[in-house]
Chains A and B, each alone.
Chain A
Amino acid sequence: MIDETLQEQAALHALGMLSGEEATAFRAALARQPELQTLVDDLAEAAAALTHAVPSAKAPTEVLPRLLTQIRAERMRTNTTPGRGSAVSWMPWALAAGIALAASVGFIAGARVESVNTQVQVAKMSAQIEQADVERQRLATLLSSLKEERGSLEKRIADLRQRELLSQIKIATLRVQLKAYAKVAAVAVWDATSQQGVIRFDNLPPAGAGKDYQMWIIEDQNPVPVSAGIFTAESGTEFDARLRPSRPIAVAGKFAVSLEPKNGSAEPAGPILLMSN
């Protein structure tokens, strides 16, 4: 039977939240009680399952090639994989050992001429191995400098792209209109070209039963607010709400958020909570 205190520690341990001393004491308890380890593993599994509740996102295509390049570069540097030898790494040694064995057999047989020839061959092959090693080092250095160069070029391209995109983007901070929402921070980002945008919120409490938050965009030349979507905040943490206006926006002037009855309103009916200048 696992008591509540240990269950509590098991939950914190599964989330990596136990402090140094607590963690040490808990690990000692783990060693004594195998069923406690089972509980920790179960809770870690449950916590990790939360990942399934998050929308998956297409991983950037360049990460896998970069990882494989990194793995190969490390292999070249160490000539070993983590905790295991590779065929490439032991080949020169095996070759040298084989040749040495052949040379010693020739000596035992008394075939002096062959022995001399073999020794010459050994010397030649040793020189070739050394040369190959120098070449390997040169290529590793070249690869490293090319990677650096590529990295700096990629960064430059990204900077240029970002600068170009930013010129079409409007960014506005939304100010709190009601004291009850004083802790809320919100920033709107709107791309006029793609007609897409997002408002990032921090510390926005849940909308409450029967209510929805509704976002509005007010155009520069048209005072009638355009609905840009409804949502309910899940928790006090940071999150993004996508702006999806009900019709094309000519020039976005202001952004606002109001609290509306469930499923929103055709025009703002509830209190305006946040608005940009």
Chain B
Amino acid sequence: MQTGSDFAVRLHDPIAPGSSREAACMSAENPERQRDVELLARVAKGDEQAFAQFYRRTADGLFGLALKMMNDSGEAEDVLQEGFSYMWKKAATYDPARSSPFTWAVMIVRNKAIDRLRLRQRQARIVEKATTEFLHYTDTDDASAREPVRREQCAEVRAALAEIPDDQKQVVELAFFAGLTHEQIAQRLEAPLGTIKARIRRGLLRLRDRLKGADA
């Protein structure tokens, strides 16, 4: 099992500059993504302003992910801070030919969250967590507070998810958000390990195809 945020960095083993993949990636980029790529390049050179800008552009989405995974606003805040601290140190390892800056950041925050999830017994603390989280709720309408780009992305992903069979969606969500291993998922759903692996494969491939369809 791979743990720790180094996994996100390993996704970015170097690709030869000028390779066809790099060229393809750069040409496919939208302006928002390109802006994030530029910011990360400046962060890699130690530019604090660029770091602050990248933070402001991505922190809310990443905090939402951390909250979803941790079910605790205090721990989600710690995960966010650890994630961005890691990004500051590892910005030079980011490779735009491999993924978008947001994907890179998501994988780092997710792995920080998984590291924490594995350190605690979630069930035993359900009452305490529910209380703590409730104290930090705000009554704002999430949809109206989000910027249009994010709303559009949200709609695309939800539409893509709606087209994926429930059993596949369930295992992908358990793997991604709860950080469970395939063995744990198999145990939890009382299904054979091979079935779970196949569902993860089919679910992720379908999600990729649907999202690519949405991009086209």
Contacts and interface: CB of A to CB of B under 8 A. Distances in A.
Interface residues of B, number: 93
- Secondary structure at the B interface, as helix, strand, loop or mixed, is helix
A45 B88 contact: no
B60 A57 contact: yes
Interface residues of A, number: 74
Contacts of B140: 58
Contact of B2 (A23, A86, A187): A23
B130 interface: yes
A59 B73 CA distance: 10
B175 interface: yes
Contacts of B68: 54
A63 interface: yes
B126 A235 contact: no
Contacts of B110: 16, 48
B2 A16 contact: yes
A51 B62 contact: yes
Nearest to A242: B137
Contact of B176 (A15, A18, A55, A58): A15
Contact of B201 (A4, A58, A162): A4
Contacts of A178: none
A267 interface: no
A51 B158 contact: no
A166 interface: yes
6 contacts: A8-B201, A11-B205, A52-B150, A56-B64, A165-B135, A187-B126
7 closest residue pairs by CB, A with B = A81-B46, A46-B208, A59-B59, A48-B103, A48-B106, A59-B63, A200-B130
